Chains A and B, each alone.
Chain A
């Protein structure tokens, strides 16, 4: 099964204002892996994600999604197989009702009638948001918006899920629910996040970016145990791996 892989080779990106956001990033993510991309603010996480569905064009290097190298000709196919959930659900939900929004992708793929209805209800069902189907996005709570945003992507049945800060701005309960939901998916998953406890729960592998370069790439637990590395990259251990604040014991 080679069609769910993401391979990035020596990827470089320089913004028009001269900022070099990525300076030679390479990694290979295989089928079904769940990988976190972490790093300080400005380390290049978001820039990297925007390359994965071809929104930004690399200044140098190569990207391969599944069997295709990313280029203009393969872009429609790649955008279909890479489902991208953006950080702000208000950007993702641009249609007047939840139904319309979830249907937007499938409609673009040419689905109509009952197939479309089934596709939309299935996607909403998977994220537990079927009751919201006729609501307008501005009537949803933050957690509901996040679920619907994921459904808009699921309705296109992507092979690879890419999410930018999925738990950002959620209350603890919604966050917990979202983590449980994300754990159920068997797609190849790529997250960026500052929520390192979530990373610890969801991702067996972590890539640490520092100033546009891959500083470390390995099993999540190993990386989170390397305190020198974390401090160097302006990160710290997830709270669940730190000592108990009351008795000082390690959890």
Chain B
């Protein structure tokens, strides 16, 4: 279970980054959430063979990491962790799509490779944007922003509870798995059946905890409506942040800036 514990600590580090106090951290979460949403929609709306117009979009996570003083290497490792999954999605494209699309000198590149790479780049872009959003905003604030933007209260509460108890649950699961392992003496124990009862007991324990949490909520006057405090305001800085990024994303979406820059440079050498 060491790996799960380690991953957990790592996640807590991401969360601690949200406690920073830069200009970006202080912005209203709604502006940050909306800007990231516009970014993600723009990135995923490109056609499957479009690769070069995606590249300029890296400016968004890069600028945010720079401004908010985030550890770039740490975030890059997190993104790398997700890339294999994206690769798994796109890996069959080169096999089924062998039509040559472009030529790099003597090397012909098929449409399959281009679309596969496009998937990976898009995954890297969207995941890094999401991670940066969590790192400058914090998960609970994102939930509250989504709620203020119209997400039903019940979903927001679900997310907040998920976030609060995922650590408790993994710790409990980790302890149970360790107890099983220590008594399995290096064998497989009772195989799958021991795992099924382990998961069953985790479920029951979760149930009991949920009851106790509900009890604690009732004891403090909970009446079915989850109260939230309003602590941010959507001011000029937020408006500028949101509109500035959105306009940039739309420009990058509808103009191939990479090709433009390329032609500018190659135009210098006739």
Contact = CB atoms under 8 A, between A and B. Distances in A.
A136 B218 contact: no
B219 A94 contact: no
A96 B222 contact: no
Contacts of B138: 96
Contacts of A55: 215, 218-219
A227 interface: no
A86 B163 contact: no
A79 to B, nearest CB: 6
B216 A86 contact: yes
A207 B7 CA distance: 48
Interface residues of B, number: 29
A137 interface: yes
Nearest to A153: B220
Contacts of A15: none
Contact of B213 (A76, A79, A91, A139): A91
Given A100-B140, A138-B167, A86 B218 contact: no
A55 B222 CA distance: 13
Given A96-B139, A96-B163, A86 B215 contact: yes
B232 interface: no
Given A86-B215, A95-B164, A96-B163, A109 B221 contact: yes
21 contacts: A55-B219, A76-B221, A79-B220, A82-B219, A88-B212, A90-B168, A91-B216, A92-B216, A94-B213, A94-B217, A96-B138, A104-B222, A107-B227, A107-B228, A108-B220, A108-B221, A136-B12, A136-B15, A138-B12, A138-B168, A153-B220
10 closest A-B pairs by CB: A108-B221, A107-B227, A96-B140, A105-B220, A91-B212, A138-B167, A84-B219, A92-B216, A94-B213, A55-B215
Interface of A: 50, 53, 55, 76, 79-80, 82-84, 86, 88, 90-92, 94-97, 100, 103-105, 107-109, 112, 116, 134, 136-139, 152-153, 156
Interface of B: 12, 15-16, 19, 138-140, 160-161, 163-165, 167-168, 209, 212-213, 215-223, 227-229
